[in-house]
Structure 1
Amino acid sequence: MELTLLGTGEPAGLPRSDCPCARCAAAVGHEARAATALLVDSTLLLDLTPGPAFAAARAGRSLSGVRQVLLSHPHDGPALEVPAGLPAPVRVPDRQELALISGHRVRALALDSPGTGYLVTGPDGERLLYLPPGAALAGTGSGTGPGGPYDVVLLDVGRRPDALARLREAGLVGAATDVLAVHLGHDLPPGPELHRRLAAAGARAVPDGTSLTVGEFHGGVDVSQLPRRTLVLGGARSGKSVEAERRLAAFPGVVYVATGGSRDGDAEWAARVARHRERRPASWRTEETCDLVPLLERDGPPLLIDCLALWLTHTMDEVGAWDDTRWERGGAAELATRVRTLVEAVRHTPRQLVAVSNEVGSGVVPATPAGRRFRDELGRLNAAFAAECEHVLLTVAGVALPLR
């Protein structure tokens, strides 16, 4: 099958003519996107972008051979512009299959939100999955039929990374699956940052007008080929936890390791913990512990550790780091041993790992010896941990800056 993306943007397109925001200002050239629409083998059109005939012409294609136009958006979706000569757009009922004279078969898939998803099987057996904005399959691949991973998946990765995680968990997205992000809009950053985020999820975005041959893409992202170890650093409210969570949102079964624990009677801390918990995907499992080495040593799903600064606080409490006498008589040596053990476990872990830590070396010098001791030891821990990570990021004002 040959697939041409006549548009890759959200229904209103990008930029919006009446919007002065920074995202629209940056949406120029290849980053300008019409509403998402797909032309399959010049015979099947999935959704309509404004000016579809002109969009096809710009891509070097014609709509004269289109024999079927299918809609995926909810019934109250964007207004339709149907050029003369195109068949009237229709929607296939959920779980029903449409056979085209061209040899394509289209199965309508039930979603967890309004709209219709489509599984398109080409004459030679290639399979393409297309989902409308903000949607995921209902259930776990229900009604998708046998055949293993899809060849191409097009979905709203930006707003629904969990939809991609579900597909991976069901075995419908594999190492050779080309995952294309579509319905791109205001809720995603412009330019290189968009592509960096998508790459971390194992997906990519292409410009409007791009054509590709389904089944010939060999650059699919295998989870095992992503950076195994990532450290995300940042100051208070810099966005470091959000960045770490975003890096694993498109993968199933993540274990979130909370090192902060609970604090009896501290309502503000409880509210912080609740906000973090509500932000995480429901499919993630949480472990509240500072015993990190056994988790790192065991095989299993990805780990997200948040955060190393709280692990260090707990460990310094245990070795008596706040008492000068205990510190000099063995506490410092014991802490160094525990840090080395943790770093060694990071070096050999079989799991994908994303860890969060505070960057405190750029602020005011603490007024107390204990504060300066913590600052120094956290700096040493961060440096040792980062030395074992393929990917290190520094978040500043919500922007992730790659250091490695």
Structure 2
Amino acid sequence: MKVLISGTAGAGGWPARGCGCASCLRLSPGRRRPAEVVLLSGHDTSPASLDDRSVRLPLANPALQDHETSPGTARLPAGYRVSTGPDGLVLTTPGGHRILYAAPPAGLPALPGDGESADRPSPEHPGRPDGGRAVFDLVLMDVLDRPERLGGLRRRGAVTDRTHVVAVHIDHRVPTEAELARRAALWGVRAVPDGTVLDLGEPAPARAPLPRRTLLLGGARSGKSAEAELRLATEPRVRYVATGPSGDGDAEWDRRVRAHRERRPAHWETSETTDLAGLVRSTDIPLLVDGLGTWVAAVFDECDAWSGGDGLDAVAARCDELVTAWRRPGARVVAVSDEVGLGVVPATSSGRMFRDTLGRLNRRLARESEEVTLVVAGRLLPLPL
């Protein structure tokens, strides 16, 4: 089964006509057309070869009248089945290939007598089910909206390494094609150009290997936490490590913590601990550590180190333990830390001790990391060796 991805953008295309935003002005007109796919019936994939048996799905305007009608076109040929479910619209071809248009359920009509759940095994397709779940051959998804939905599909086994995941509804929510390609690589998604033909009989290209240890540095409100969350957004399982204090009546801090919690995907796990070295060593799922600055502050409290002396030696030992664990993590780790060396010299001795300790820790972890990036005003500045 071959599929022609004839368009990949949102309803207005990208760039959108008449839009003056920086993203649209960077691109030449007509770069990406409104999203549309064509299920091809023959071996010839040229536009002139499309016949009545080809199924055209204009995804930029999803509307179904009944089970046998594709969006905006004539009735589906015999043998195709379509239904809506919690993940979106599911199309099963006569050969048993399963295609998911992962639009939010609210954006699709409720079809009478839906005959197929997105999670039901497909007996007519060899090699399924996978762990009791039906696996999709192709997923068409607006990953710029809620990339964590892809993580949920992977968690349930509905998307595997063989699944072609293609980004659609692409538009000026992403600043450049280069940034789109970067996110696609992080998420294991294909950001294909218009006119691409996919063969669903072939597995998707192998996902590029990702850094095992990533350190993201930045100042306050630089976007470093949002970037860390973006990097792990489509993973099936993630453990978020909150190293800061709970707040203890500080209303402003409580609002900050609540905002972070609400931004994280619902299926992520959370650990509130200062035993960071133990967690890095033992984890079997990706970790997001946010952040090292609050961890150092908490360790200073635990070691009674703000006045120096033996407490400061205990803090140094805890940092040594973390660096040792960082060299051999149990799984992928993305950590956020404050870049504290660019401001004025702190006025207090305790402030200077904190700055020096965190600065040394950042330097040591950076030396042991495959990727280190400075985040400034939401822009990424890679720091190569």
Question: 1:142 and 1:213, CA in 2 relative to 1: closer, same or farther beyond 3 A?
Answer: closer
SS of the aligned residue for 1:62 comes to helix
Distance 2:105 2:26 in 1: 23
Residues 154, 180 of structure 1: 8 Å contact kept: yes
Secondary structure of the corresponding residue to residue 28 of structure 1: coil
**Which one of 251, 264, 271 corresponds to residue 280 of structure 1?**
264
Equivalent residues in 2 for 1:1-400, closer than 5 Å? 1-28=1-28, 32-42=31-41, 60-62=46-48, 64-67=50-53, 69=55, 78=61, 91-92=66-67, 100-101=77-78, 105-111=80-86, 116-121=88-93, 123=95, 125-132=96-103, 141-143=118-120, 145=122, 147=128, 148=130, 149-221=135-207, 225-324=209-308, 326=309, 330-400=310-380
- TM-score with structure 1 setting the length: 0.80
Preserved CA contact (<8 Å) 1:230 1:390: yes
- Superposed CA RMSD: 3.3
Aligned mates of 2:4, 2:31 — CA distance in 1: 16
Change (3 A) 1:22 1:142: same
5+ residue gaps, structure 1: 44-55, 81-88
Rate the CA distance shift 1:230–1:344 in 2: closer, same or farther, 3 A.
same
- Asked if structure 2 preserves the Cα contact closer than 8 Å seen for 1:178 and 1:220, the reply is no
Q: Per-residue CA shift, 1:216-244, capped at 9, x if unaligned?
A: 3552328xx43222211111000011111
- Displacement of 1:320 in angstroms is 3.5
Query: Distance in 2 between the 1:213 and 1:351 partners?
Result: 33
- Work out whether residues 140 and 167 of structure 1, in 8 Å CA contact, stay in contact via their aligned partners in 2: no
Cα shift readout 1:312-369 (whole Å, capped 9, x = no counterpart):
1111233333214x1xxx3343222211211221222222221111111112222222
Mapped to 2, the partners of 1:127 and 1:188 lie a distance apart of 29
User: Are the structure 2 counterparts of residues 121 and 226 from structure 1 closer, same or farther at C-alpha, using a change threshold of 3 Å?
Assistant: farther
Match of 1:287, SS? Answer: strand
Per the alignment, do residues 351 and 187 of structure 1 end up closer, same or farther by CA in structure 2, a change over 3 Å counting? same
Q: Give the 3-state SS of the residue equivalent to 1:226 in structure 2.
A: coil
Which deviates more from structure 2 when the two are superposed, residues 276-285 or residues 362-371? 362-371
The amino acid of 2:67's aligned partner reads V
Deviation per residue, 1:228-273 (Å, 9 max, x gap): 2221111100001111111111123322111112122211011111
Equivalent residue for 1:46? none
1-structure distance, mates of 2:117, 2:337: 35
Q: Distance in 2 between matches of 1:136 and 1:401?
A: 38
Amino acid aligned to 2:34: A
Does the aligned pair in 1 maintain the 2:38–2:55 contact within 8 Å?
no
- State the alpha-carbon separation in 1 of the partners of residues 49 and 34 from structure 2: 17
Which amino acid counterpart does residue 226 of structure 1 have in structure 2?
L
CA distance in 2, matches of 1:161, 1:217: 21
8 Å contact from structure 1 (residues 232, 240) kept in 2: yes
CA–CA separation in structure 2 for the residues paired with 1:393 and 1:121:
45
Q: Distance in 2 between matches of 1:166 and 1:394?
A: 29
TM-score, normalised to structure 2, is 0.83
Name whichever of 130-139 and 10-19 sits farther off: 130-139
Query: After superposition, what is the alpha-carbon deviation per residue over 1:74-130, rounded to whole angstroms, capped at 9, x for unaligned?
Result: xxx7499xxxxxxxx855379xxx9845xx634323136xxx51334463x554433
For this pair of structures, how many residues does the alignment match?
364
Shift of 1:71: 5.3
Runs of 4+ displaced beyond 6 Å? 133-140
Identity of aligned residues (%): 45
Q: Given the superposition, is the C-alpha separation of residues 157 and 140 from structure 1 closer, same or farther in structure 2, using an over 3 Å criterion?
A: farther
Change in 2 beyond 3 A, CA 1:212/1:93: closer
Instruction: Output the CA distance in 2 between the equivalents of 1:384 and 1:398.
Output: 24
Contact 1:134 1:160 in 2 (8 A): no
Whole-angstrom CA distance in 1 between matches of 2:58 and 2:121: 16
